[in-house]
């Protein structure tokens, strides 16, 4: 099996586990692959894509190795789901009892076979209200939703973020229907036109001592002596 593989591991923890257990578990898992993310309180996600050729095992064999090491070092059973993306891996793990594993191959046929019988409410973005509405139209499983054209599915579930995409490989991510932002109105221009502008006077202010025969705001001139 080739492709990307994410392993979701859920531990069957006892009440009041040791406080240092997550750090010790991380150290153990990083000996398998450096790409480890701990998910409190009892889970971990591992990208084992690069570890598969290194350990010379397929996805199922490497998943079994991880579970066996956790059991040997900590005495803990675990449920495991391995799939091409994190959402599918988490869904597969949730359906798996402790001590077992569910592997979803990285192919459209395997993904469709895994998702088709699952209830529509398990899809991200499909809440209880949307699932009830889909059920009224006879759409109870993911396979039922996939068979319906996207335009009709939007009519059934209503527009907006709750309407799921029916792409099996993309694992039904919710759509966004954000309306376009209204264009900001430009402010009216306050500049005066050239024809209506008034040029300020550059002459000197009128002096009270000037006679009335001299035009206002004008400076009298004196003829030079002959």
Q: 6-52, pLDDT tens digit by residue?
A: 999 999 988 877 888 889 999 999 999 999 999 988 999 999 999 99
Q: Are residues 146 and 56 in the same domain?
A: no
| Angle between helical axes of 128-136 and 150-157 (0-180°, round to 10) | 110
Cβ neighbours of 145 (radius 10 Å): 24
138: CATH: 1.10.150.20
Q: Are residues 81 and 157 in the same domain?
A: no
Q: Is residue 202 part of a domain?
A: no
pLDDT of residue 185: 52
Q: pTM above the 0.85 mark?
A: no
- Do residues 68 and 111 both lie within one domain? no
Mean pLDDT of the chain: 77
CA 101, distance to chain mean position in Å, is 28
Q: Which residue has the tokens 């889909």?
A: 134
Same domain, 101 and 111: no
pLDDT tens for 120-177 read 888 777 888 888 988 888 889 988 888 887 766 665 655 544 444 445 545 544 444 4
DSSP H/E element including 81: strand 78-83
Kindly state whether residues 27 and 114 are assigned to the same domain: no
Pairing of strands 101-103, 78-83: parallel
* Domain region containing 117: 107-173
154 and 83 co-located in one domain: no
| Residues above pLDDT 90, as percent of the chain | 46
């Amino acid at each position: 099996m080739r492709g990307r593989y994410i392993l979701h591991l859920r531990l069957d923890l006892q009440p009041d586990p040791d406080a240092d257990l997550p750090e010790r578990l991380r150290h153990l898992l990083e000996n398998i692959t450096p790409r480890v993310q701990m998910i409190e309180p009892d889970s971990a996600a591992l990208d084992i894509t690069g570890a598969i050729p290194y350990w010379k095992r397929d996805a199922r064999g490497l998943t079994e190795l991880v579970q066996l090491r956790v059991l040997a070092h900590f005495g803990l059973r675990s449920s495991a789901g391995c799939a091409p993306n994190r959402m599918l891996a988490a869904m597969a793990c949730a359906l798996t009892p402790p001590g077992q594993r569910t592997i979803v191959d990285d192919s459209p046929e395997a993904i469709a076979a895994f998702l088709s019988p699952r209830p529509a409410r398990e899809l991200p973005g499909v809440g209880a209200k949307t699932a009830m509405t889909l059920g009224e139209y006879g759409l109870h499983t993911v396979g039922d939703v996939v068979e319906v054209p996207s335009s009709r599915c939007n009519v059934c579930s209503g527009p907006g973020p709750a309407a799921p995409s029916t792409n099996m490989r993309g694992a039904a991510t919710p759509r966004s229907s954000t309306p376009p932002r209204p264009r900001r109105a430009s402010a009216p221009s306050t500049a005066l036109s050239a024809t209506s502008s008034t040029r300020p006077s550059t002459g000197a202010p009128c002096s009270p001592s000037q006679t009335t025969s001299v035009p206002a705001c004008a400076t009298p001139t004196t003829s030079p002596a002959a």
